[in-house]
A and B are shown apart, each in its own frame.
Chain A
Amino acid sequence: MNTLRLYFKSIGMLLRSHLQYPSSFIMQTIAQLVMEGGEMLAVILIVDRFNNLKGWSGGDLYFFFGMMSVSFYLTEMFGRGITGDFPMMVRTGKLDTFLVRPRGVLTQVLCAGTDPRRITCVAVGVAALIMGSNLSDIVWTPLKALVLVESIAMSCLLILGLFMIEAIFSIFSVKSVELVNAITYGGRSACQYPIDVYPLPLRALFTVIAPFALTLHVPASWILDKPLYGWPAWTAFVTPLSGVLVFGIMTGVFHLGMRHYRSTGS
């Protein structure tokens, strides 16, 4: 509990730091809105042009898009320490200051970064979710709501886990951005559409290596009453747990990597 309190207190402080520069903050937040709005527009154009994509209706597509946006940008908003700032923390020696405090390194990294500008992106995602839900006439039940929350939470952990690969590389001062971006940002772009529109190699990549299909598509399609590959209902509850698995493994590797941390400068 104490750790959670520390996290929210730290985030609150960072928020106040951001608001020290209000005009810059507002401009960047609007820029984010334009960017994510553009992505949404692309989906709207596809829906307008094709009506349906391999059996997925326009509403379904909005729903998938919304799930991905909400998960991805919540992660960037609250996990900025890992998704964005970590290489800088290594370079500037900030990581050293974490190591001399009696708290977990990962906790402190997460406490040291937030990106509140992403709030507009999350809002676009929520709008897409509501649109999709209405157009596809989803009948909400408590179970469906539970799966929705589980799916988003697990996708967040998965995304955090994937970004940790980059963090692990930067512990050894190795630049790996391009390689890792392929499955993080690439994963977001690809997996905001239903997974079964892709050829087998891509599907395999996003099922086995970066399992967005398991944390996001399986439960989302169950909520839409169009189970992916016709899988039974229980899979919608179980497969998302792969998110926490990836996060757990990456946390382990991260701590292993920290043992070989070399630090910088004087």
Chain B
Amino acid sequence: MSYIEVNNLKKDFVVKKKREKGKLLRERDTVHALKEVSFSVDKGELVGYIGPNGAGKSTTVKILSGILTPDGGEVSVGGLVPYKERRAHVKNIGVVFGQRSQLWWDVPIVDSYNLLKDIYRIPQGDYEARLKELAQALQLEELMRTPLRLLSLGQRMRAELCGSLLHRPELLFLDEPTIGLDAVSKLSLREFLKWENEEYGTTIMLTTHDMEDIAALCSRVMVLGHGQKLFDGKLPDLLERFDTVRNVQVKFDVPNPNLKLPDGVEWSQSEDGIELSYEPSVLPTAQLLSILQEAGNISELTLQPENTDHLIAAMYKELDL
């Protein structure tokens, strides 16, 4: 049995609609946040969990961390059912919500850690060693006496991470950890997560909208949409499935080249030249190049695959999300 086992997980939410004129009661609508999602995760895996807003990512994380009770299906994490054995379960997990803080706003962050030590009943010696280690890895040593409200967004995220790892959880949930961070903060955060994962074998599951996070960290990616699992595998495999379009920018010496492009190639002309996109499976690249050369002398040409954000957008579109 794997570390995390999820079978046919279901969760519905009842939404009250606006009351229609002339009706006494408001109508209710059931939203299926999750419909029969199944997956398993092994210990030490680093899994990215992606999908558009409202796909059910957070709902899954909330069920796995014991906040919500599912409406159907089975969940077990390390042999425990999160929503039934909440206290025993949450001892082994750490959760970082991108948008809400777990630390105390107005006091120095070290005071928050001190209180977390009591909440998790961490032995004093163990606590001191772990705090020292995390402070070093997350570059928090200088900030220990600073109240949380005075920290920058990047510093705050590092402080939150430290708080959620003090009790040495086996499993770490990260809900959009890099949201709003600058490039440097993002990079150092990713580096830290990799280190924690390799050093302690901590299983990490993160939801994100940032494809770079996935590319840099996750050996495995799961795509969720409309409450269903749509893909589960390696990132390169996912990209291959949707990486179909190539973009070309081309500039000619002559002002009005005699360009005859076959159907299926989209193009537009601007002052910088011509931009076109094509699918190599439909029109081989070599053929396109010869068409371009026939049109006139090429002065500049760049060819690039679509970036990952576009790919994901295309994928969501294709999967009708």
A residues neighboring B (CB under 8 Å): 2, 5-6, 9-10, 13-14, 16-17, 20, 92-94, 96-97, 99-103, 108, 259-263, 265-266
Q: Does B28 contact A (CB under 8 A)?
A: no
Q: Does B191 contact A (CB under 8 A)?
A: no
Cα separation A190 to B107 with both chains bound (whole Å): 40
Partner of B67, one of A2, A100, A266: A100
Interface 0/1 of B48-83, CB less than 8 Å to A: 000001000110001001111100000000000000
Which residues of A lie under 8 Å from residue B267 when comparing CB positions?
none
Query: Which A-B residue pairs are the 6 nearest by beta carbons?
Result: A17-B106, A100-B95, A102-B91, A266-B58, A99-B67, A102-B87
Cα separation A103 to B167 with both chains bound (whole Å): 14
B66 touches A99 (CB 8 A): yes
Other 17 A-B pairs with CB < 8 A, given A2-B118, A100-B65, A266-B57: A6-B115, A9-B115, A10-B115, A14-B104, A17-B104, A96-B97, A97-B101, A99-B90, A101-B90, A102-B90, A259-B69, A261-B68, A263-B67, A263-B68, A265-B58, A266-B58, A266-B175
Which residues of B lie under 8 Å from residue A108 when comparing CB positions?
119
Which residues of A lie under 8 Å from residue B205 when comparing CB positions?
none
Q: Report the minimal beta-carbon distance from B9 to chain A, rounded to whole angstroms.
A: 16
B106 touches A6 (CB 8 A): no
Q: Does B147 contact A (CB under 8 A)?
A: yes
Partner of A96, one of B91, B98, B100: B100
Partner of B121, one of A2, A92, A94, A261: A2
B91 touches A93 (CB 8 A): no
Contact (A100, B90) CB under 8 Å given A6-B118, A265-B99, A266-B99 = yes
Contact (A263, B62) CB under 8 Å given A96-B100, A100-B67 = yes
Cα separation A260 to B69 with both chains bound (whole Å): 7
Which residues of A lie under 8 Å from residue B69 when comparing CB positions?
259-260
Of chain A, the residue at the smallest CB distance from B88 is A102
Contact (A100, B93) CB under 8 Å given A13-B111, A259-B69 = yes
Which residues of A lie under 8 Å from residue B87 when comparing CB positions?
102-103
A101 touches B119 (CB 8 A): yes
Contact (A20, B100) CB under 8 Å given A9-B115, A10-B115, A266-B175 = no
Which residues of B lie under 8 Å from residue A13 when comparing CB positions?
104, 107, 111, 115
Interface residues on B, range: 35 or more
A102 touches B120 (CB 8 A): yes
Q: Does B38 contact A (CB under 8 A)?
A: no
Q: Report the minimal beta-carbon distance from A264 to chain B, rounded to whole angstroms.
A: 10
Which residues of A lie under 8 Å from residue B95 when comparing CB positions?
97, 100
Which residues of B lie under 8 Å from residue A102 when comparing CB positions?
87-88, 90-91, 119-121
Which residues of B lie under 8 Å from residue A94 when comparing CB positions?
100
Which residues of A lie under 8 Å from residue B100 when comparing CB positions?
92-94, 96-97
B119 touches A6 (CB 8 A): yes
Of chain A, the residue at the smallest CB distance from B62 is A263
Contact (A101, B120) CB under 8 Å given A13-B107, A17-B107 = yes
Cα separation A103 to B117 with both chains bound (whole Å): 12
Cα separation A116 to B176 with both chains bound (whole Å): 36
Cα separation A99 to B67 with both chains bound (whole Å): 6
Which residues of B lie under 8 Å from residue A265 when comparing CB positions?
58, 99
Cα separation A16 to B104 with both chains bound (whole Å): 11
Most buried by A among B13, B58, B118: B118
A16 touches B107 (CB 8 A): yes
Of chain A, the residue at the smallest CB distance from B101 is A97
A20 touches B176 (CB 8 A): no
Cα separation A5 to B115 with both chains bound (whole Å): 10
Which residues of A lie under 8 Å from residue B13 when comparing CB positions?
262
Which residues of A lie under 8 Å from residue B58 when comparing CB positions?
265-266
Which residues of A lie under 8 Å from residue B102 when comparing CB positions?
97
Q: Report the minimal beta-carbon distance from B60 to chain A, rounded to whole angstroms.
A: 12
Q: Report the minimal beta-carbon distance from A23 to chain B, rounded to whole angstroms.
A: 15
Q: Does B39 contact A (CB under 8 A)?
A: no
Q: Report the minimal beta-carbon distance from B155 to chain A, rounded to whole angstroms.
A: 19
Q: Report the minimal beta-carbon distance from B107 to chain A, rounded to whole angstroms.
A: 6
Which residues of B lie under 8 Å from residue A93 when comparing CB positions?
97, 99-100
Of chain A, the residue at the smallest CB distance from B207 is A266
Of chain A, the residue at the smallest CB distance from B106 is A17
Which residues of B lie under 8 Å from residue A101 when comparing CB positions?
90, 119-120
Q: Report the minimal beta-carbon distance from A44 to chain B, rounded to whole angstroms.
A: 39
Which residues of B lie under 8 Å from residue A17 when comparing CB positions?
104-107
Q: Does B86 contact A (CB under 8 A)?
A: yes
Report 24 cross-chain contacts, Cβ distance below 8 Å, ordered by A residue: A2-B118, A6-B115, A9-B115, A9-B118, A13-B104, A13-B111, A14-B104, A20-B106, A93-B99, A93-B100, A94-B100, A99-B67, A100-B93, A100-B95, A101-B90, A102-B91, A102-B119, A102-B120, A103-B87, A108-B119, A260-B69, A261-B68, A266-B53, A266-B98
Q: Report the minimal beta-carbon distance from B85 to chain A, rounded to whole angstroms.
A: 11
Which residues of A lie under 8 Å from residue B121 when comparing CB positions?
2, 102
Cα separation A101 to B98 with both chains bound (whole Å): 17
Which residues of B lie under 8 Å from residue A263 when comparing CB positions?
62, 67-68
Most buried by B among A10, A99, A108, A265: A99
